[in-house]
Structure formats: C-alpha cells, structure tokens
Amino acid sequence: MSKTYTNPETIGLHAGWRKDDNTNSVAVPIHQTTSYQFDNTDHAANLFALSELGNIYSRIMNPTCAVLEDRIAALEGGVGALAVASGQAASAYAIQNIAKNGDNIVASSHLYGGTYNQFKNVFSDMGIEVRFVDPSDPQNFADATDDKTRAYYGEVLPNPSFEVFPISEVADIGRPLGIPLIVDNTAAPVICKPFDHGAAVVIHSTTKFIGGHGTSIGGIIVDSGNFDWEAFPERQPALNNPDPSYAGAVWTEAVKPLGPIAYILKARTTILRDMGAAMSPFNAFMFIQGLETLALRMREHSSNAQKVSEYLSSHDSVERVAYPSQMDGYAKDRADKYLSKGNGALMGFEIKGGVEAGKKFIDALEMLYHVANIGDSRSLAIHPASTTHSQLNEEELLSAGVTPGYVRLSIGLEHVDDIIADIDQALAKI
C-alpha cells in the first residue's frame, strides 16, 4: 500500500491492504493460525528482540487483525493500533499500559455503565484509583490531578447523556503536565476525529458501529503518535523506566527507530501478551467488512436519528430529548465543535409518566429490538435504569445522566418513516 487516503469512505475500503501476494485474493483472508514458521533462528531472535517486526504468535499479532489495525489507525489518523477481544479489554489495557498499583487516573463520570464498573471496582481492587469528575467543567480534571495521575479518560459521545466530551479543553490541561487524554470514540467513529482535537489515544468497542451488524464482540486501541511520553519521565514511568517484563527495555528509547509507537507497541508486547484478551481473526474479518460501509452508515444513521429527534421533540408524551443537535448552551457548542459529520445514531428521551410509561413504551415496540446493544444496522431500544446501568446507585445514576423514565434509542438503517411509525404506535399505547 503506497498511497495514503484521507477520506473515511476510501480508507474503509483501501487502507492497509491491496491483495494477497500469493493468491491475488482481494478480500482480506482469515488467517486462522496460532503460529508462524520462523525463517531461521536469527529471524526468530530478531522478532523476539523487536529489532525486526513480524508475526510470532496469534495472541500477540495476526495478519487479519493487522489489516483491521492499520485501517482503523488510518481512519482515526493515528500511527498504530492494537485489536483486542472486546471494548472492555480495550479500556482496561489502554490504562493498564501506563498505570499501576498506587497510580490514579481522572475520568469523566459520563461513561458507559460497564466502563464505570470496570473503573470503580476492578481498577480499585488492582490499586488504580479512578477519580470521577463532571465533564461539563474541564477544570474539574485539573482539580483532581496529582503527581500520580497517569491519564485523563472520557467518552466522546457519552452514553446515555450524549453531551459531547470537551476533548481539546481537557487535552490542553493534560498535555503540559505529561498527562495523555484517552477517549472512547465508540459512538462517534467518522463523525468525530479526536486526534484532531488533541486526544493522545482513542479506544473503540468495535462491537458497535465498526462491526455495524450486531455479530461480533471486539475492541481496539489507537495510538495518535502525537504524545511526547519521553518528555515526562517522572509522570510516565511505565514508558521511560527499564521494564522488567521485557528484559529491561526502556520503551521510549527501544522503539525510537520504529517511529512514535512506544505506547502501542508496549501494549501489544506486554499487556496483551500477558493478559491475553486477543481478537480472533474471524472477528477481525467481520469488522473489516463493517469498515467498508462505516462512513456511509454513519451518514445514514445520523440523518435518520436527526428526523427521529425532531419527531420526538414535538410529541406531547415526551418530556425531553437528549440528542446533540437538540441541546443548548455548552452541550450544543461542543456538539457543533466536535461532531463534524452528523450527530450519530444514539439518543435518549424521557417519557411523561416515568418508569412505568418507559417500560410500557419498550414493551409496545414491534419493529425496534429491545436489546443491550448500540450501533447495529437495526433500530434498538432499552431502558438503562433497569438494565445497562442497574448496578449503579441513585446518585451514580444521576451523575451518569440516567433518570428513571429514560429510554435510549440506537437509530438504525431502516426507512425513517418505518422507524417513526413504530415509535409512534408504541407512544400511543402508554
């Protein structure tokens, strides 16, 4: 691949792959193999020493996963990526790569419920403290920072509040301190490019829009290459001190000849190697199929969702609609600043009548699926307080933006008239 493309429609079809050199196959083959024959002992030694990059074992790298990694790195404008088994593995590894027992990160409180649980419970059991702050005021990130803060974390289009994260505002606070901003861009691929606004690392649950068809679980971590880890040896010891888990390698020095990929190469060769949540080549193949139409789908999702949000906003049974284009104040300003190609598929709304009305609405739907997922080509609905966010207490629910009668929609690719007709008949039954 010699040419570099910048348009997401073209990247989704061409980045990182032209054809198979042995067979001329155009579709990316599924390399369903665990291991790779070394040319000779020197070749094997070079691969293990990272003086040469190449395939060793499919827990650490795989040629089908590599095409997906190259394509998503190109889509986000990064220098490298690491495919893993789920979005949950992506958020965990993105942080474990630079934070350990005794360290902390500062995270937005507007997070997917599963991420919140991971941070609040599993990370605290591991000795990594997560300090949750309200992202409406970026200064909250600065106020929660101390010498042991290794990263800031947020969700670009957070589920379920849908108030866009202040990417450049928080990245600008962290960068002079040596603190990278890691963002979850699961809900806004193509429509937001966090690296253009100063984020250092992006993660995705590829399970959602990238897969796009509700078939496969996966995740990915993307390195922008724009963060100067080496300039902050005390703030970022994991990348600047000798690493006993890789023969004393100092990642920022050892990796220099290969480009600004210290963060993502360390994640692959230590965290993924040791924790093991690798993406299967078959799932990588499915995500590559999804990427081919991602840009087109995001356009159509956004167009359908815009019309649904307008319909809901004018409906008598609806108390409020949470969709970026329907917001005002700072939330609208951020949506306008960061969502350059549509406002996405996701929205929430509060039905008059609270919990009971919300449940009746869900039960009355005929076409929309009632499932715990987002980003499918089909339209989906769920009641977060009794499902995805049910482990949170009342205070945590409110800080995550979930009220009792709140319904979340993931608007799909059916004809918009059919989507609105199904919502309309369900609202008539509450």
Residues that bind ligand PLP (CB under 6 A): 86-88, 112, 114-115, 155, 159, 184, 186-187, 205, 207, 217, 219, 374
Please say which residue, 205 or 377, places its beta carbon nearer to ligand PLP: 205
The answer to whether 98 and 151 have CB atoms below 8 angstroms apart is: yes
Please say which residue, 216 or 236, places its beta carbon nearer to ligand PLP: 216
Please say which residue, 185 or 252, places its beta carbon nearer to ligand PLP: 185
Token pair in block for residue 187: 């809900």
Range 248-269 burial, b when 16+ CB lie within 10 A, else e: ebbbbebbeeeebbbbbbbbbb
Please say which residue, 87 or 138, places its beta carbon nearer to ligand PLP: 87
Please say which residue, 207 or 343, places its beta carbon nearer to ligand PLP: 207
**Least Å from the CB of residue 287 to ligand PLP:** 11
The answer to whether 342 and 411 have CB atoms below 8 angstroms apart is: no
What is the rounded CA–CA span in Å between residue 374 and residue 102?
35
**Least Å from the CB of residue 159 to ligand PLP:** 5
The answer to whether 294 and 413 have CB atoms below 8 angstroms apart is: no
Please say which residue, 112 or 195, places its beta carbon nearer to ligand PLP: 112
Residue 132's beta-bridge partner residues? Answer: 107
**Least Å from the CB of residue 185 to ligand PLP:** 9
DSSP string of 145-199, one letter each residue: --TTEEEEEEESS-TTT-PPP-HHHHHHHHGGGT--EEEE-TT-TTT--GGGGT-
**Least Å from the CB of residue 176 to ligand PLP:** 28
Number of Cβ within 10 Å of residue 364's Cβ equals 16
Token pair in block for residue 125: 């059991």
**Least Å from the CB of residue 184 to ligand PLP:** 5
The answer to whether 83 and 68 have CB atoms below 8 angstroms apart is: yes
**Least Å from the CB of residue 423 to ligand PLP:** 22
Closest residue (Cβ) to ligand PLP? 87
